Structure 1
Amino acid sequence: MIPYGRQIIGDEDIAAVEAVLRSDFLTQGPVVQRFENAVASRVGASHAIATNSATSALHVACLALDLGPGDLLWTSPITFVASANCARYCGADVDFVDIDPDTFNICPDALQAKLDEAARKGRLPKIIVAVHMCGQSPDMARITPIARAHGVKIIEDASHSIGADYLGTRVGDCSHSDITVFSFHPVKIITTAEGGLALTNDAGLAAKMDRLRSHGITRDADLMTHAPDGPWYYQQLDLGWNYRMTEMQAALGISQMTRLDDFVARRRALADAYDTALEGLPLRLPKRMEGANSSWHLYIIRLDDPTRHLAVFEALRAAGIGVNLHYIPVHLQPYYRDLGFGDGDFPISEDYYSRAISIPLHAGLTDDQQAQVVAEITKALA
């Protein structure tokens, strides 16, 4: 089976992790800080907070922006459930904005209309989570001023997008958002096994996320309610969580970062080859937004004929092509249906779901494997 995505682990990665296992620190320590610095320096952000998953990073990002009961968060229906669940963890409500049919990201026109209506009703969101679907940035040059005009905070869920750029800047620099989140799950561009990271240019937000990922505890005397009782002293200032990244994960991440550009270059070359090889088939290929250079976490085709969706998917799986589907619209999950969402709420997202198939794309995919994928797609559509 040719998988849709997989990690690439080399001898240098194994050596980096082994070195940590022979060191004095295993949980969060100096290697985690080195990894944070490496990512922040690479993308041009001031602060980076590493966590044990991107879901954890989204959660502490929401908390740092004071999301809580009675508040509202908006995101895209076409995303992994964590982009919405992070609000529910805070006791907040969730709503969605339909996608642009070409980019699969939040549609700026739909966002503008929905925000204007929400302003009239007096029920604006506190936060918008702008998802970078497949590795391509949303149209943040439009989204950010629309949100800012209504006083709405922005989190970029760039879980797919480390190594991408947008309008001449690197995704993650937070020039269009308050906080940006990356994921390092094994199928992402680089991996720390599990792991995530939140970036910000706001020192106050960084300090709060740092505290929240480690039980809400501080050892900084300047933040304490009174002078320390002694050198052993710490205080819990917030209700936090154990979301810390381990030293082993961080060591793997530092090693992987040295090959980030190579991984992204290979993914882009494979995406270009798919564009050429699949042209003319009865399907829609991914669109590239002007000014956005994707890191190509996913390559998603959409069938012209949705009635053949299941048959084509099953034929590809049977032929050894490990296709997948990213994603089932979040609002159609049973949990969110129970909150009042249902069929027809976000028709562009639902139409996308009826046609979409994620085909193999990762830096380890060979030219011969890609040719096999193309051949089987052509056969399945014949």
Structure 2
Amino acid sequence: MSTTIPYGRQSIDDADVACVIEVLRSAWLTQGPAIRRFEEQVAQYCGARYAVAVSNATAALHVACLALGLGPGDLLWTSPNTFVASANCALYCGADVDFVDIDLRTLNMSVDHLAEKLEIAERAGRLPKVVVPVHFAGQSCEMEALHALSQRYGFALLEDASHAIGGRYQDVPVGSCRHADATVFSFHPVKIVTTGEGGMVLTNREDLHQALLRFRSHGITRDPRQWQGEPDGPWSYQQLDLGFNYRMTDIQAALGASQMQRVDAFVARRQTLVERYRRAFAALPLKMPEQMHDAAPAWHLQVVMLDDAAWRRPMYDALHAQGVLANVHYQPVYLQPYYRARGFEPGYCPNAEHYYDRALSLPLFPSMSDDDFDKVVAIFSNTLREIAS
């Protein structure tokens, strides 16, 4: 039994190590064949036409926004219950950002709040160009309803599925882009699949695919079909956009490809643990996210919402003192000092703030042993009963 139990941890086996060693001994460490193999593997798994691997999910969000044409004068809306990158990507493009409150049942972007906000924005002549729904904790947003709104109001949908690879919505893998222009995955170590650091954008649109390829690599293309004028010779390339060095290495791609062999097993174990948490906590004064009837979440996070906000800090401290390294996901983005300086104030998204004040993330990862799970449940349950009494 481990001394401390983190809220998340990567799962690396000998096959992963062997795949990385194979690349290290090959002729290609970056911009080689392992990248394309990994991209094709993820695209095929998700049922999308194209996948573009990048250095991290923040880069993925950035290049996706650029490919969608987001720029100065435009507006991006996202959920406040997310990591700051879901909003920062708008500012990287020179656009403005706003937030849509969450549904307290799922902790995802509320379709009702979005619809209401869109009606007001249409009257004001200030509709968003891009909306970024975040599949919080690994459960898909209500993408069919969001897609219907995108068709009515003319905005692009960019799924932030950083938590959700391996999950399904309406029995289709998250990342299929059936209801979105593009989808972003994260391969950070605590996510479902890891490449160390890494991200990916999936899309079914050829125009977005070509733009993503350019933006991840300095805005450069070696495709003569995209060139302007005649080349100087067979060595030629052309910079068509102001791009970035957001490339993934072959070393990372090899690890990701190996991890993808076990993605279904990773998700199945996470789902099993979440169901065990539900049963164990059924009589405690807390809530867990509701699972939608048409979703099979990947469950990146095991979050709970305590009935009383006053219990959160003593619970956090007591859990850490006993070796259970609980975390909190997330403080509403607009309450960060940077966004407060941009004019956002407390009370802007009441549901997100209500959730945040009561939120705790408990240990959840595929290699979590049954003994460690039982330890977490016992410590959490006993501590909450003491604090709530």
Please state which band the TM-score falls in when normalised by the shorter chain: over 0.9
Equivalent position of 2:239 in the other structure? 236
Q: Does 1:101 align with 2:116?
A: no
Q: Does 1:23 align with 2:23?
A: no
8 Å CA contact 2:139, 2:164 repeated in 1: yes
Alpha-carbon distance in 1 for matches of 2:213, 2:207: 10
The one-letter code of the counterpart of 2:194 is T
Q: Does 1:270 align with 2:273?
A: yes
Q: CA deviation at 1:148?
A: 1.7
Match of 1:254 among 236, 245, 257: 257
Q: Does 1:119 align with 2:141?
A: no
Equivalent position of 2:357 in the other structure? 354
Match of 1:370 among 366, 369, 373: 373
Alpha-carbon distance in 2 for matches of 1:148, 1:358: 35
Equivalent position of 2:344 in the other structure? 341
Alpha-carbon distance in 2 for matches of 1:142, 1:37: 29
8 Å CA contact 2:107, 2:289 repeated in 1: no
Alpha-carbon distance in 2 for matches of 1:178, 1:342: 31
8 Å CA contact 2:23, 2:251 repeated in 1: yes
Match of 1:89 among 92, 102, 106: 92
Q: Does 1:36 align with 2:39?
A: yes
- Structure 1: runs of 5+ lacking an equivalent: none
Deviations 1:38-87 (A, max 9, x none): 00000000000000000000000000000001100000000000000000
Alpha-carbon distance in 1 for matches of 2:379, 2:333: 30
Equivalent position of 2:190 in the other structure? 187
Q: Does 1:203 align with 2:242?
A: no
Structure 2-normalised TM-score? 0.98
Alpha-carbon distance in 1 for matches of 2:225, 2:284: 64
Partner of 1:300, secondary structure, is strand
The one-letter code of the counterpart of 2:237 is Y
Q: CA deviation at 1:326?
A: 0.6
Partner of 1:59, secondary structure, is helix
Q: CA deviation at 1:137?
A: 0.2
Count of residues in Structure 1 that have an aligned counterpart in Structure 2 = 382
8 Å CA contact 2:324, 2:363 repeated in 1: yes
Alpha-carbon distance in 1 for matches of 2:344, 2:220: 38
Deviations 1:16-58 (A, max 9, x none): 0000000011012110000000000000000000000000000
Identity of aligned residues (%): 56
8 Å CA contact 2:61, 2:89 repeated in 1: yes
The one-letter code of the counterpart of 1:157 is D
Partner of 2:133, secondary structure, is strand
Q: CA deviation at 1:114?
A: 0.1
Partner of 1:63, secondary structure, is helix
Alpha-carbon distance in 2 for matches of 1:150, 1:133: 24
Partner of 1:26, secondary structure, is coil
RMSD, matched Cα: 0.6
Alpha-carbon distance in 2 for matches of 1:289, 1:28: 40
Match of 1:10 among 10, 13, 36: 13
The one-letter code of the counterpart of 1:106 is M
Deviations 1:107-166 (A, max 9, x none): 000000000100000000000001000000001111110122000100000000000000
Partner of 1:328, secondary structure, is coil
Alpha-carbon distance in 2 for matches of 1:124, 1:185: 33
Q: Does 1:47 align with 2:56?
A: no
Following TM superposition, the consecutive aligned residue runs of length 4 or more in structure 1 with deviations greater than 4 angstroms are: none
Alignment of 1:269-308 (within 5 A): 269-308=272-311
- Structure 2: runs of 5+ lacking an equivalent: none
Match of 1:76 among 79, 88, 111: 79
Q: CA deviation at 1:285?
A: 1.9
The one-letter code of the counterpart of 1:145 is A
Alpha-carbon distance in 1 for matches of 2:213, 2:239: 13
Structure 1-normalised TM-score? 0.99
Equivalent position of 1:62 in the other structure? 65
Q: CA deviation at 1:379?
A: 1.5
The one-letter code of the counterpart of 1:381 is L
Equivalent position of 1:222 in the other structure? 225
Partner of 1:245, secondary structure, is coil
Q: CA deviation at 1:286?
A: 2.1
